[in-house]
């Protein structure tokens, strides 16, 4: 049975549907200069057969992609990401480097802010990108599943807000990873059973591809095709599990313009050093005309400690497009140029490179939030040690011990319920204690001869901070078992890197040299091998925030802790209750 609408209503509805259609086709109309949008993504966690190094294996992926899908948003946008788990592993996702202002339920580390998403279950991550623009990434945050479950997050500035550097012709994410022929869950499980270090990876990858230096891998080579006289923005991400990496493109200079989604004072370099968990944006200016050559881009490890490592190099190719008329050029054999990377253990390069990274600190992007006074001081030793194994476990360390890692000699014991829930509902009893030590219980020459007793203690301990506390943490590497660089990542905050140095931190003289004018603002910092780094942050985000080494083996061994930031007095300083679909343990 039909009926006719009055013409005025019909016209109004036609206009309404036309506007809706326009908004669907153009989600960011030009008139919406600072409009905020909600961007929806659906992530299906599923197994996918992938072939690398002449071997096919079933890996955990998002939407069957490896690396996973790219998330694109603008500063101020809201992201709603529905994650459905179709695999046998319990899983969570972490949006690495996103500030998560009052959205701690969406942060993602398993048993810290949420219980994992179980097989057949789903969870919606809902958060807003506040005051950030640049490159970050997302990855699984449970066991070693992030070996294959990761992808880029590209945060564009608000509309009509330019970059503080030349507008690039094109932007290209380049994400480094590690590839194991074996199942990585088996690799870490065996290591924890024996108490020794895990087997190392079989290859490094650039955008999921190992490149021609590996056996049976020439066809799996990443190629970046470029035009002459153009500027390209390369969004570099280190998603490798256990290795810091040097990266270089032969015969080309890179200009570093951003680190961890914060603009930095531009500087030129032949080589970028990037630890797991860090992101770095670089400008690549191509040559004035297409050369009859191909240029190798290469990444290989920076090795700062005594542990076994994957001593291999992943390579891709930078190729200039040749005009279709130049048939002669196309047929000519092209010369191949390869880059010279620093020595594997070049700690001097590491120290010099990290000191070059400074905040832009100009009127548009001031470094105004550097805490000038400190309310809470912490001194954290980070390093290795040993733990006794149970009598029914045959560990291969001396006297039936296993390798462990610790902060202030406390190796973190993962609870079986999420810390954030326990905190929010005042049910911390039996889940965690609030006595994490602010200083080492036992003082020694941290970078000299190790003490005779290298056993660590264990527990689920946190530090409680009142809202808006200014915090300084000095992170000191130790030489127990071996000095090593540790990339420390703090969830929920950016921090300022005030200073770093070799040897033991000198509490009397080193603070006098702190940079309070334009320090780097980061979410992940390498504690120098046999050295220290000092950071400050403002605890202005209520919730429970994980801090851990981003070398996955060290996290598995317990080099992690958590900060509990209490609610403030105002409504906008309190953590809202959890969403109704928060996974249950």
Residues 319-350 pLDDT 10s: 999 876 655 555 678 999 999 999 999 999 99
Position 203 scores a pLDDT of: 98
Nearest Cα to Cα of residue 550 among 577, 579, 510, 523:
523
Tens of pLDDT, residue by residue over 196-254, are 999 999 999 999 999 999 999 999 999 999 999 999 999 999 999 999 999 999 999 99
* Residues paired with residue 62 on neighbouring β-strands, in sequence order: 45, 65
Position 397 scores a pLDDT of: 83
Position 329 scores a pLDDT of: 58
SS3 letters across 225-252:
EECCCCEEEEEEEECCCCCEEEEEECCC
User: Could you give the CA distance from residue 247 to residue 235 in angstroms, rounded to a whole number?
Assistant: 12
User: Could you give the CA distance from residue 532 to residue 500 in angstroms, rounded to a whole number?
Assistant: 5
**8 A C-beta contact, residue 125 and residue 579:** no
User: Could you give the CA distance from residue 390 to residue 402 in angstroms, rounded to a whole number?
Assistant: 10
**8 A C-beta contact, residue 247 and residue 297:** yes
**8 A C-beta contact, residue 476 and residue 381:** yes
Predicted confidence (pLDDT) at residue 565 exceeds the cutoff of 60: yes
Predicted confidence (pLDDT) at residue 23 exceeds the cutoff of 50: no
For 156, the 3-state DSSP assignment is: strand
Q: What percent of the chain has pLDDT over 70?
A: 93
Query: What 8-state DSSP symbol labels residue 260?
Result: T
Position 269 scores a pLDDT of: 98
**8 A C-beta contact, residue 122 and residue 581:** yes
User: Could you give the CA distance from residue 523 to residue 497 in angstroms, rounded to a whole number?
Assistant: 10
User: Could you give the CA distance from residue 58 to residue 51 in angstroms, rounded to a whole number?
Assistant: 9
Q: What does the block give as tokens for 102?
A: 């009052």
User: Could you give the CA distance from residue 408 to residue 243 in angstroms, rounded to a whole number?
Assistant: 23
- Rounded mean pLDDT, 171-185: 98
Predicted confidence (pLDDT) at residue 521 exceeds the cutoff of 80: yes
Contacts of 190 (CB under 8 A, 6+ apart): 198, 199
- Mean per-residue pLDDT over the chain, rounded: 93
Q: pLDDT band at 34, cuts 50/70/90?
A: low
Predicted confidence (pLDDT) at residue 166 exceeds the cutoff of 90: yes
Helix, strand, coil content of the chain in percent (nearest 5) = 10, 40, 50
Tens of pLDDT, residue by residue over 417-453, are 999 999 999 999 999 999 999 999 999 999 999 999 9
Nearest Cα to Cα of residue 181 among 51, 311, 48:
51
Tokens 């600072």 belong to which residue?
34
Contacts of 347 (CB under 8 A, 6+ apart): 304, 485, 528, 529, 530
**8 A C-beta contact, residue 489 and residue 278:** no
- What's this model's pTM, rounded to 2 decimal places? 0.93
Tokens 């190790």 belong to which residue?
450
**End-to-end C-alpha distance for the chain, whole angstroms:** 53
Query: What 8-state DSSP symbol labels residue 201?
Result: P
Please provide the size of the chain in residues: 585
Position 268 scores a pLDDT of: 98
Q: What does the block give as tokens for 529?
A: 């091998």
H or E stretch at 534: strand 531-539
> Where are the alpha helices (H) located in 271-388, listed in sequence order?
327-331, 347-356
Query: What 8-state DSSP symbol labels residue 464?
Result: E
Adjacency order of strands within the sheet including 254-259: 203-206, 170-179, 231-238, 279-285, 254-259, 262-269
SS3 letters across 285-314:
ECCCCCCCEEEEEEEEEECCCCCCCCCCCE
User: Could you give the CA distance from residue 148 to residue 179 in angstroms, rounded to a whole number?
Assistant: 8
* Domains of the chain as residue ranges with CATH: 36-161 (2.60.40.420), 165-323+334-359 (2.60.40.420), 376-565 (2.60.40.420)
Q: pLDDT band at 35, cuts 50/70/90?
A: low
Provide the pairing of β-strand 469-477 with 531-539: antiparallel
Q: What percent of the chain has pLDDT over 90?
A: 89
User: Could you give the CA distance from residue 456 to residue 86 in angstroms, rounded to a whole number?
Assistant: 38
Neighbours of 312 (CB within 10 A): 17
User: Could you give the CA distance from residue 359 to residue 382 in angstroms, rounded to a whole number?
Assistant: 26
Cβ neighbourhood burial of 52 (10 Å; 0-12, 13-18, 19+): buried
- Rounded mean pLDDT, 564-576: 97
Position 214 scores a pLDDT of: 98
Nearest Cα to Cα of residue 318 among 332, 334, 331, 329:
334
- Rounded mean pLDDT, 44-67: 98
For 283, the 3-state DSSP assignment is: strand
**8 A C-beta contact, residue 303 and residue 515:** no
């Amino acid at each position: 049975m039909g009926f006719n609408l009055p013409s005025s209503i019909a016209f109004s509805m036609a206009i309404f549907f036309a506007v809706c259609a326009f908004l669907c086709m153009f989600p960011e109309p030009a008139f919406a200069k600072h409009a905020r949008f909600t961007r929806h993504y659906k992530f299906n966690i599923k197994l996918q057969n992938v072939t690398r190094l002449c071997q096919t294996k079933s890996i955990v992926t998002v939407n069957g992609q490896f690396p996973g899908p790219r998330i694109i948003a603008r500063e101020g946008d809201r992201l709603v990401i529905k994650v459905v788990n179709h695999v046998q592993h319990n899983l969570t996702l972490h949006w690495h480097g996103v500030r998560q202002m009052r959205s701690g339920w969406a942060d993602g580390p398993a048993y810290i802010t949420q219980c994992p998403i179980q097989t057949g279950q789903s969870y919606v991550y809902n958060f807003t990108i506040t005051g950030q623009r640049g490159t970050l990434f997302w990855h699984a945050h449970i066991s070693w599943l992030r070996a294959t479950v990761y992808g880029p997050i590209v945060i564009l500035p608000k509309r009509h807000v330019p970059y503080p550097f030349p507008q690039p012709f094109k932007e290209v994410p380049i994400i480094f990873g590690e590839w194991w022929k074996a199942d990585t869950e088996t690799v870490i499980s065996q290591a924890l059973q024996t108490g020794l270090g895990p087997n190392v990876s079989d290859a490094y990858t650039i955008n999921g591809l190992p490149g021609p230096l590996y056996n049976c891998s020439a066809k799996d080579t990443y190629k970046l095709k470029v035009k002459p006289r153009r500027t390209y923005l390369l969004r570099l991400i280190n998603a490798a599990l256990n290795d810091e990496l040097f990266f270089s493109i032969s015969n080309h200079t890179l200009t570093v313009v951003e680190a961890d989604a914060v603009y930095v004072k531009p500087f030129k370099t032949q080589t970028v050093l990037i630890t797991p968990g860090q992101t770095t944006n670089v400008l690549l200016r191509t040559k004035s005309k297409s050369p009859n050559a191909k240029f190798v881009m290469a990444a290989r490890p920076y090795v700062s400690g005594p542990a076994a490592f994957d001593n291999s190099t992943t390579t891709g190719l930078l190729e200039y497009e040749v005009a279709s008329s130049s048939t002669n050029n196309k047929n000519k054999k092209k010369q191949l140029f390869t880059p010279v990377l620093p020595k594997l253990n070049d700690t001097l390069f590491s120290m010099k490179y990290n000191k070059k990274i400074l905040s832009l600190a100009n009127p548009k992007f001031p470094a105004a939030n550097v805490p000038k006074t400190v309310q809470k001081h912490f001194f954290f030793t980070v390093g290795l040690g040993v733990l006794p194994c149970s009598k029914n476990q045959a560990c291969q360390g001396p006297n039936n011990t296993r390798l462990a890692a610790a902060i202030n000699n406390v190796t973190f014991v993962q609870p079986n319920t999420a810390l954030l829930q326990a905190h929010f509902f005042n049910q911390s009893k039996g889940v965690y204690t609030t006595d994490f030590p602010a200083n080492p219980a036992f003082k020694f020459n941290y970078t000299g001869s190790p003490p005779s007793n290298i056993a660590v203690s264990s527990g689920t301990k946190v530090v409680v901070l009142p809202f808006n506390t200014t915090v300084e943490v000095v992170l000191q590497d130790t030489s127990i078992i071996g000095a090593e660089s540790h990339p420390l990542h703090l969830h929920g905050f950016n921090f300022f890197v005030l200073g770093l140095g070799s040897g033991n931190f000198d509490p009397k003289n080193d603070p006098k040299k702190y940079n309070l004018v334009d320090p780097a603002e980061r979410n992940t910092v390498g504690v120098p091998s046999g050295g220290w780094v000092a950071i400050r942050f403002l605890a202005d985000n209520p919730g429970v925030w994980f801090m851990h080494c981003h070398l996955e083996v060290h996290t598995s061994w317990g080099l992690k802790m958590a900060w509990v930031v209490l609610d403030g007095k105002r409504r906008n300083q309190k953590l809202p209750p959890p969403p109704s679909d928060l996974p249950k343990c």
